[in-house]
Amino acid sequence: MYMKTIMLVCAGGMSTSLLVNKMKKTAEERNIDVDIFAVSAPEVDNAIEKKNVDVVLLAPQVKYMKNQFESKLKEKNICMDVINMQYYGMMNGERILEQALELIDM
């Protein structure tokens, strides 16, 4: 099984860094092989060109950009969704990791 890659997108790339750490900790505890990283919205195009991304999760503050990314990601067969606002606000890394993995397995 290959390593899955999860990219989180937020306005500045800062608010998701704590979330990335919590998701990585959960993945490690569950022995799930994933690469999780965060970028700011302007960095999305560059990131999907450089990395083999499986799923993109948008932070609630950039959900308005979903349509902007949809066609680009669909062309590359990359799943995308918006992170549940409650899970994001609580920095629930476990639940957000589950959300990403469910999208990959669809």
Q: Which residues are catalytic?
A: 10
List CB contacts of 59: < 8 A, sequence separation 6 or more. 8, 9, 10, 11, 15, 16, 82, 83, 88
Distances (CA, A) of 37 to 1, 24, 43, 44, 54: 20, 9, 12, 11, 12
CA 86 – CA 106 distance, rounded (Å): 23
